[in-house]
Amino acid sequence: MEKERKNHVAHCLILPYPAQGHMNPMIQFSKRLIEKGVKVTLITVYSYWKTIKNKNLSSNIEVESISDGYDDGGYESAKSFDVYIQTFWRVGSQTLCELLHKLSSSKTPPNCVIFDAFMPWALDVAKNFGLLGVPFFTQSCSVNSIYFHTHQKLIELPISQSEYLLPGLPKLAQGDLPSFLYKYGSYPIIFDVVVNQFSNIGKADWILANTFYELEPEVVDWLSKIWPLKTIGPSVPSSHLDKRIKDDKEYGVSVSDPNTESSIKWLNEKPKRSVVYVSFGSNARLSEEQIEELALGLNDSEKYFLWVVRESEQVKLPKGFEETSKNGLIVTWCPQLEVLTHEAVACFVTHCGWNSTLEALSIGVPLIAMPLWTDQATNAKFIADVWKMGVRAVADEKEIVRSETIKNCIKEIIETEKGNEIKKNALKWKNLAKSSVDEGGRSDKNIEEFVAALTQY
């Protein structure tokens, strides 16, 4: 029996929520597991997997699929997002059971399911099959702690306090909380998803978080007292950090075709640290008024800018803006990591989704935070006031960031002494991120300990 244990190959099933920002961190973590000898099978959702245009997976990652109940059209074919989630949770659970029945008779049956924490039903399925169940959190530990306190009803809703002081976190104003709290009732189904991540967390064998200890030490220490928590991030391609995983240069999947050649060619023609890179991710929708203010602010800054505006959003641009703007290039998409590492880029204007934040941290690029919703306001608070690697572009009473504010933020980072301090801090976090995932770093040790425990199961 002991000999069988030593020869056993751990086999992890990786189940992300079907969205690019959730899939890619888990795919990157999968590469770390493979590097340490673990067999990995990625479980995708039929409907979403069909929409992926670039599937840059490691050849060692096998792929299986389950259903969300909408194989032909995904969530867009559902009557509402509420209906989609209800159907997905039910059908996903059923089809995951069917897949586990199939895989249980394979040569290397799985012994662990690592699932996106958005889908706690996967933990119940794993336990029913006698497998280890491990939630993977794709947002920061600070945000997860806020949601956990909400789940435990330790934050009264609707919120009424002007400030909140939670264990391991800085003092937070109402507007620093995730939008589902300070705009309670705005997206009830998504609120339920983020809060219900903790509905059965007491059953989890481990909890993995896409962050690194040095970034959030106080809240990680507090959460580690109540959960079997391991920080394993930042989950970005190895070539931008420790360079230990061969040919790991880009994320695994993309729903868009990047304008690589035109973007990089344009950047190559610009001086070092002279370009403002602007991107709000694959899902964000800015109002026409906000896009107009952003366009004016970029023009008024008199700096070069590379602005990602999805094709569906380009109708919101001011009429004739592309023709009259001499300093800018507008593209429908581009390879974000490749752009951020380019020596011409001076700063990154973004909504501060957690993946974009970690990318900037890992590469050492200063941020201009323009949060829109969900966890982004909390991330922006940390960027500006805790990590001090960026500035927050503050919106007015109409929730619009005006052109003057945008212009001033750009100039502050590129032209002022405070901007120089921000750049130094950005490089500090870059070095800490690299050290954490490098051999012997805290995230690397946590992954080693996790794999060692897996092989004993």
Catalytic residues: 22, 116
Rounded CA separation 246/239 (Å): 8
Other CB atoms within 10 Å distance of the CB of residue 388: 18
Tell me if 51 sits within 8 A of 72, measured CB to CB: no
Rounded CA separation 224/446 (Å): 13
Closest CA to 340 of 241, 242, 445: 241
Q: Length of the chain, please?
A: 457
Rounded CA separation 239/248 (Å): 6
Closest CA to 251 of 265, 233, 232, 238: 238
Host H or E run for residue 64: strand 61-66
Q: Which regions of 291-437 does DSSP assign to beta strands (E)? A: 304-308, 328-331, 345-350, 367-369, 390-392
188-195 and 141-151 helices cross at what angle (nearest 10)? 100
Closest CA to 455 of 60, 128, 38, 62: 38
Closest CA to 194 of 132, 135, 234, 128: 135
What torsion, rounded to 10 degrees, do the Cα atoms 255, 243, 28, 199 define? -130
DSSP secondary structure letters along 297-315: HHHHHTSEEEEE--GGGGG
- Residues 6 or more apart whose CB falls under 8 angstroms from that of 122 comprise 15, 92, 93, 96, 113, 115, 116, 133
Closest CA to 110 of 40, 205, 34, 28: 40
- The helix/strand/coil state of 288 is helix
- Show the DSSP H helices in 213-353 as ranges: 217-224, 260-268, 288-301, 321-324, 336-340
- Six-digit token pair at 231? 């920080």
Rounded CA separation 377/371 (Å): 5
Rounded CA separation 327/303 (Å): 7
403-415 and 288-301 helices cross at what angle (nearest 10)? 40
